[in-house]
């Protein structure tokens, strides 16, 4: 069914499986009464329940929350934090700066983009591993097909300082035996034999963990987009306290311009636009 018939079938009613509210009475969240059945649920528990429709165990939620904690850096120089801080310093409402910063978190090179491509790889690689292929064969096939394996290598620094605490947390919570988690280290070794700088990074290991926890690529993207959120408000608060327009100014002589040299315009002068 499409066209006018499809619109007519959806007119005057919202059909939903995720929830609804009846002001003055109750609210339903994925079939559960939000204020009764979900009483006491953690925010992270509610968030991933909303994304996946599944309730996660306490140790799984501690790892999911830890991933967010370990990558929330209150450093205004970071690309997304800078957006939030510049907005605040320009006296823009905090929510606009925060929204813009979250949007830029989905950067294709060093933001959410690599994580999304990484979990796509791990979900496919996991199926191949179950079918009997080795990590070496999986990596070779990916590279032969001209596909980059994201989640390995880091543009800023080859060592990812977030990995040791994440690995300790995962081991402490008993989630270090997952198929994709172990596969991440085997893939790292296969890549290092080719290029020594392709070390496993935070995006790769968290994507592998998400695959072990049953996330689809879209579900992981929704979870992953807020992983730097806690570092943004401190940058907003500090930037708002500075005089307007004084956050990270750059002198013109410090701008390295490599475009066209100055040109003179000697053509016929155009008259005013009528």
**68, part of any domain:** no
**185, part of any domain:** yes
Q: Are residues 138 and 219 in the same domain?
A: yes
Per the structure, the complete domain to which residue 30 belongs is given by: 20-55
Q: Which two tokens stand for residue 13?
A: 């009613």
Distance CA 63, CA 68 (A): 9
Mean pLDDT, the chain, as a whole number? 93
User: Could you report the per-residue pLDDT of 61-78, keeping only the tens digit for each?
Assistant: 999 999 999 999 999 999
Q: What pLDDT, on a 0 to 100 scale, did the predictor assign at position 273?
A: 57
pLDDT at residue 267 greater than cutoff 70: no
Domain end position, chosen among 7, 33, 55: 55
Q: Are residues 131 and 44 in the same domain?
A: no
pLDDT at residue 144 greater than cutoff 70: yes
Q: Which helix H or strand E contains 160, and what residues bound it?
A: none
User: Could you report the per-residue pLDDT of 205-251, keeping only the tens digit for each?
Assistant: 999 999 999 999 999 999 999 999 999 999 999 999 999 999 999 89
Q: How many folded domains does the chain comprise?
A: 2
**201, part of any domain:** yes
pLDDT at residue 274 greater than cutoff 60: no
Rg (CA), the chain: 24
Alpha helices in the chain (DSSP H): 4-10, 43-52, 58-70, 79-89, 94-104, 112-130, 135-144, 163-172, 179-192, 202-212, 217-224, 232-241
Domain end position, chosen among 39, 55, 71: 55
Q: What pLDDT, on a 0 to 100 scale, did the predictor assign at position 111?
A: 80
**159, part of any domain:** yes
Q: In what order do the strands lie in the sheet with 26-29?
A: 19-22, 26-29, 32-33
Q: Which helix H or strand E contains 26, and what residues bound it?
A: strand 26-29
pLDDT at residue 156 greater than cutoff 80: no
Provide the 10 A C-beta neighbour count for residue 11: 7
Domain end position, chosen among 55, 82, 103: 55
Distance CA 220, CA 190 (A): 25
213: left (phi over 0), alpha (psi -120 to 50) or beta: alpha
User: Could you report the per-residue pLDDT of 186-200, keeping only the tens digit for each?
Assistant: 999 999 999 999 999
- Could you tell me which of 2, 27, 47 has the C-alpha nearest to residue 215? 47
pLDDT at residue 10 greater than cutoff 80: yes
Average of pLDDT values for 148-173? 92
Torsion angle (degrees, nearest 10) of CA 118, 120, 122, 125: -130
Average of pLDDT values for 116-143? 97
State how far the alpha carbon of 230 is from the alpha carbons of 71, 89, 123, 204, 236, in Å. 9, 19, 28, 21, 11
State how far the alpha carbon of 220 is from the alpha carbons of 36, 116, 214, in Å. 28, 7, 9
**176, part of any domain:** yes
**177, part of any domain:** yes
């Amino acid at each position: 069914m499409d066209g006018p018939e499809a619109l007519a079938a959806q007119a005057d009613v919202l059909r939903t499986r995720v929830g609804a509210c009846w002001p003055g009475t109750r609210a339903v969240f994925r079939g559960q009464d939000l204020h009764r059945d979900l009483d006491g649920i953690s925010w992270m528990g509610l968030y991933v329940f909303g994304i996946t429709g599944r309730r996660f165990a306490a140790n799984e939620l501690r790892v999911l929350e830890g991933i967010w904690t370990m990558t929330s850096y209150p450093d205004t120089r970071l690309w997304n934090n800078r957006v939030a801080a510049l907005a605040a310093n320009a006296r823009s409402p905090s929510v606009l700066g925060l929204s813009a910063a979250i949007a830029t978190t989905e950067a294709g090179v060093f933001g959410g983009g690599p994580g999304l491509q990484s979990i796509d790889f791990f979900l496919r690689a996991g199926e191949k591993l179950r079918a009997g292929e080795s990590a070496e064969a999986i990596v070779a096939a990916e590279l032969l097909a001209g596909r980059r394996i994201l989640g390995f290598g880091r543009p800023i620094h080859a060592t990812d300082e977030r990995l040791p605490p994440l690995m300790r947390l995962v081991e402490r919570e008993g989630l270090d035996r997952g198929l994709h988690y172990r596969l991440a280290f085997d893939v790292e070794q296969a890549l290092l034999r080719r290029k020594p700088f392709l070390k496993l990074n935070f995006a790769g290991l968290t994507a592998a963990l998400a695959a072990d926890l049953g996330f689809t690529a879209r579900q992981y993207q929704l979870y992953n987009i807020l992983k730097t959120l806690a570092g943004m408000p401190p940058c907003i608060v500090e930037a708002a306290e500075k005089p307007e327009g004084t956050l990270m100014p750059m002198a013109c002589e410090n701008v390295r311009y490599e475009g066209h040299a100055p040109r003179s315009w000697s053509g016929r002068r155009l008259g005013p636009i009528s």
